[in-house]
Amino acid sequence: MRIGDDRFVLAQGHDIDDVKAATVAAMRANGDLVDLVVLGNREVSVLVSPGVAVVFTSELLDAEQKDVRDTGDVDYPYESFTDYEYL
């Protein structure tokens, strides 16, 4: 998911339809916070408002690509290797 210039990788199994519905509702309300659970089991709140580009992309992962730690359980966050790509 890309909001403006920021990229958010949703936790595996996160319901993309719920995120899309919350994003559309935020835009229709002239802006609101949308809560996400992202890779690393971390919660992120993003302000979505009219005029902000939001792009959804998805890809299917095969069994070798899935990270068993990425459960979406925010009580057990972890650092992913992708966190270090931006350092």
Taking only the tens place, the pLDDT of each residue in 13-28 is 778 899 999 999 999 9
The answer to the question of residue 53 being in a domain is yes
> Is residue 54 one of the residues assigned to a domain?
yes
Domain around 15: 1-59
pTM, two decimal places: 0.71
For residue 22, being part of any structural domain is answered with: yes
Do the domain assignments include residue 4? yes
Domain count, the chain: 1
Residue 82 pLDDT: 56
Percentage of the chain lying above the pLDDT 90 cut: 41
Measured CA to CA, the distance from residue 51 to residue 82 in angstroms comes to 29
Asked whether residue 47 is domain-assigned, the answer is yes
pLDDT at 84: 46
Confidence of residue 85 (pLDDT cuts 50, 70, 90): low
DSSP of the chain, one letter per residue?
-EETTEE--BPTT--HHHHHHHHHHHHHTT-EEEEEEETTTEEEEEEE-TT--EE-------TTT--TT----TTS----GGGGGG-
For residue 71, being part of any structural domain is answered with no
